[in-house]
Structure 1
Amino acid sequence: ETLKAFDREVNEFVDYMFGPRDPRVRGWFLLDSYLPTFFLTGAYLLCIWLGNKLMKNRPPFSLRPHLIVYNLGITLLSFYMLIELILATWEGGYNLQCQNLHSAGEADIRVAKVLWWYYFSKVIEFMDTIFFVLRKKSSQITFLHVYHHATMFNIWWCVLNWIPCGQSFFGPTLNSFIHVLMYSYYGLSVIPSMRKYLWWKKYLTQAQLIQFLLTIVHTLSAAVKPCGFPFGCLMFQSSYMATLVILFINFYIKTYRKAPSRTAVKETPVTTEIKNGFHKDYFAAANGFQNNKKAQ
């Protein structure tokens, strides 16, 4: 009874904040109450924390067969969502620049059904992090990774309840395409004989950045030339995508920028450094390298 009362209060508060929900998705799995989404997200974060503690003094699991099956499954689901969204929006005559929530009839329902799968895929993708924990890939469990996974699941619960079609189709369409490429890459990367062919990881990150920027442009275009899609939702999506752009750019710079070569540091004369006003820490690094070499 206490949980039911809490559930009722939470949902009344959410309804008060966002207004009446879209009746077309009433009764759909996980959508009527926010608590399952909230608790699943909490369980996800708890698993990361507890999992890292439990794995601290244990050897990592390989999980190669599980990873192949998992990544293949996500790839196929993403491909299904990509094709179905393209077909549904084509059937409904969706306007690429701005599409409202109620003008496409049955096509809107078809889009909403695909977007439900998109929402549900976000809880499945929690396994990305769980696999990292079990394989002791702690360096992969970054703030960006956890933030992206945890927030997307919750945001898409809101999207499905209030704006389950119309302009909401664009981001998932792009993201499904990116995920076909990304999870194909992940699946192949666990097969040792395939790794020599996987030179394109850097370009996946670039594609993700382009995806976020295109989504921002598409979202703002509906704000500039409105069609009845809720303005507040457009502003929220643009702001959220901006946070992802910032975090992904930071990740890209840290991961792919080229550090100065040891040869370049060695060959830079100290006198030139002083004349050009380089920081003293640079001298220490250069001298330390040179001294180490002499000691050898």
Structure 2
Amino acid sequence: MEAFNHRLNTYIDSWMGPRDPRVRGWFLLDDYPPTFVFTILYLLIVWLGPKYMKDRQPYSCRRILVVYNLALTLLSLYMFYELVTAVWQGGYNFFCQGTRSAGAADDKIIHVLWWYYFSKLIEFMDTFFFILRKNNHQITFLHVYHHATMLNIWWFVMNWVPCGHSYFGATFNSFIHVLMYSYYGLSAVPAMRPYLWWKKYITQGQLVQFVLTMFQTSCAVVWPCGFPMGWLYFQISYMISLIILFMNFYIKTYKKHGASRKKDYRNGVVASVNGHTNGMTPAETVKHRKPRAD
């Protein structure tokens, strides 16, 4: 295995160029296979999980969902705060920022962005909860695409551009995740569901995030500062794909079926956010489908 990792690392390095030595030896970053294997296992569970649960009763997961979403809310809040303070401390330039220009602030951002990368592995649990609760309709292409790609993209980001202009998307996304996972956690508490009115605005916030990230990335193309151009072009392309997918979801969810979803909301049903929700759904409130205890 060590020989395989060495050959693979040599190939990746020949393609991508020298890695950033500041992350050498960090957990999960030296070799790509662990990240790739986690992704393959995730996709296998997405495929086989619903088949396994087909003839079984759904699990409730209510209590663990509250804890899980609270933990991700706090982690997202921590990352957002640390990134904002580091960007301020380092005097980061919105239009373009190199990866070796802010000293201690760069180091702080690298450490926070490792947690951001690792959080993408934790967020695989979103999908596993759908499977356990038999909410298979929530496992959309958008949901799987977003989860599977982010972990892999951020492995490469952490090895080659772990600070500098990479900060913006992660900072904005951490803020959105504070709102999103707090919503998820509250939606798992039945008494709170009638008061959850902001799901639509979370999706709007995500679309704003993608547009602003694409704009900020484009600024570094127009006014370069040494940040690798290949990464900028890739990020612009990836943001375009997310804008298209999230816009399609938004139109289908809030435009074409707005009337029926408003009716569901009045009846205490929580609709999905960004193609999925890990709060409680109608299937778990139907009396003749009682979930098993955790």
Coarse TM-score class (shorter-chain normalised): 0.7 to 0.9
1:241 is aligned to 2:239: yes
Change (3 A) 1:247 1:210: same
Q: Which residue of 2 aligns with 1:194?
A: 192
Alpha-carbon distance in 2 for matches of 1:125, 1:259 = 28
Q: Deviations over 1:77-124 (max 9, x none)?
A: 000000000111111111111110111111101100000000000000
Q: CA RMSD in A?
A: 1.3
Query: Residue 257 of structure 1 aligns to a residue in which SS?
Result: helix
Change (3 A) 1:96 1:261: closer
Question: Pairwise mapping of residues 144-293 of structure 1 onto structure 2 (< 5 A)?
Answer: 144-258=142-256
Aligned residues: 260
Which one has a bigger Cα radius of gyration? Answer: 1
Change (3 A) 1:146 1:261: closer
Answer 1 or 2: higher relative contact order, Cα 8 Å, separation at least 6.
Answer: 2
- 1:251 positional shift: 0.6
Alpha-carbon distance in 2 for matches of 1:49, 1:77 = 29
1:97 is aligned to 2:106: no
Q: Which residue of 2 aligns with 1:275?
A: none
Alpha-carbon distance in 1 for matches of 2:259, 2:149 = 39
Q: Which residue of 1 aligns with 2:278?
A: none
TM-score for the superposition, normalised by structure 1: 0.86
Q: Which residue of 2 aligns with 1:23?
A: 21
Once superposed, which parts of structure 1, at least 4 consecutive aligned residues long, lie more than 6 Å away?
none
- Decide which of 72, 77, 96 is 2:75's aligned counterpart: 77
Q: Deviations over 1:124-157 (max 9, x none)?
A: 0000000011001111100000000000000000
- 1:260 positional shift: 9.9
Query: Residue 113 of structure 1 aligns to a residue in which SS?
Result: helix
Name structure 1 gaps, 5 residues minimum: 263-296
Name structure 2 gaps, 5 residues minimum: 261-294
- 1:254 positional shift: 1.1
Q: Which residue of 1 aligns with 2:5?
A: 7
Alpha-carbon distance in 2 for matches of 1:102, 1:243 = 29
Alpha-carbon distance in 1 for matches of 2:98, 2:125 = 34
TM-score for the superposition, normalised by structure 2: 0.87
